[in-house]
Structure 1
């Protein structure tokens, strides 16, 4: 989900290597690059620590969900020192758009089961006075990189990028987002969480969770977190995730079938 470049992927590899060492759980880092579907990854019975978007997590029955481990707390201001994130509405740097223009432009979206790339921008548009007038949308663009490329190609005028993904790009790949500017930021939502397969033993779950929640108290762990723009991992607030389907239904009503 956040393997945005080889450099950033290397930082995640370092985190998961540290996690394996400090939890005592043998973790193998595997590649699962787009367009491979994330749903296939989330279904693996050997899943040890994998990011999962809160919206698909919330739509599963409690008995079918992967086991929640921890959710990140970003160092960015929008993180509010809590395990929440948002989406940035971005446009080309040379495109003179304001929030008042956003109901009359071409929107891009990533995948329909994404909170950050689909529901968050739709919720933003629904809050506009004339949000129902948005009719031209382009998708699926799969991930933040697809949104960046579509804006660069002129296929879309605006799109939503997970604010944490944008933070990572600002830190490590600034050239990738140099052609973009942030027009607006959406309402916060619970951060994508790290999950493990239900088939893992309670001892494995506890070991992984304990290491993640304590990472900010370990000198090496804290250094790795900082390299990823994170302050810490926190225990996920499951009740907050369970509000996401109701938010999505309210968006559907507000937009009247648009998108």
Structure 2
């Protein structure tokens, strides 16, 4: 007698920036289920539910995970990396990397040299794009100066946008791919903002599966993702998400993130 497996979950929580964008991810996951032959249940796991709870679920099939928390899990206990997106944006240069845009109110003018004197916002401390990337950028321009004032956690890009809109902060960082999605589908949300600078690249948040998933499921999901750009329907879905395709994650690049974070702490004298 064959035991029927429960559905694997898929979740794009990190990039569910609006109902419209969430619907595009749902379309990708439904296509992935059809192509791989794996029964997939799409879930929201909406904020403020902790992402750590999502990433510990044994039924993960294709779930976005930030590279920094991924890098801090012991290799033997990590979720299984499936694929990392490759953005169509110029900053990606055809590689599975991303960056953060340092953003400010469109009508608030200042030079890059003034950034060290402004009030900064951050999302959560285990975020590469919303915390480590802006701190690294700040350390490189501050010339040993301390940050004037910081505000956080703002949780996500929407929190950064709102804090700038209300004047609670002067500048903050938004994941450059999240910004790309907003430009494509929700331009009004970022209309009050301007990009002041862009941070150094880092490995893109990756889609992962739980180690408890059967290897046959993992292999089928990974193969479908890596070949998605070759299918006319897959290519159309990827284009709607601003993606060229998916690539195999460079695990060594993720493993370097903790050392980068420590170097930032050393330069700034501790966390924000």
Structure 1 residues 19-58: aligned runs within 5 Å: 19-58=32-71
Runs of 4+ in structure 1 deviating by more than 4 angstroms, as ranges, are none
- For the residues of structure 2 that align with 1:258 and 1:111, how far apart are their CA atoms? 12
Q: Which residue of 2 aligns with 1:207?
A: 220
The alignment partner of 1:199 has SS state of coil
By how many angstroms is 1:131 displaced?
5.1
Structure 1 residues 1-259: aligned runs within 5 Å: 1-130=14-143, 132-257=145-270, 259=272
The alignment partner of 2:60 has SS state of coil
What per-residue deviation string (whole Å, max 9, x for no partner) do you get for residues 158-185 of structure 1?
A: 0000000000000000000000000000
By how many angstroms is 1:256 displaced?
1.2
Normalising by structure 1, we get a TM-score of: 0.99
- For the residues of structure 2 that align with 1:258 and 1:62, how far apart are their CA atoms? 25
The alignment partner of 1:140 has SS state of coil
Give the root-mean-square deviation of aligned CA atoms.
0.8
Which ranges in structure 2 are unaligned for 5 or more consecutive residues?
1-13
The alignment partner of 1:71 has SS state of strand
The alignment partner of 2:244 has SS state of strand
By how many angstroms is 1:132 displaced?
3.1
Between the two proteins, the alignment pairs up a number of residues equal to: 259
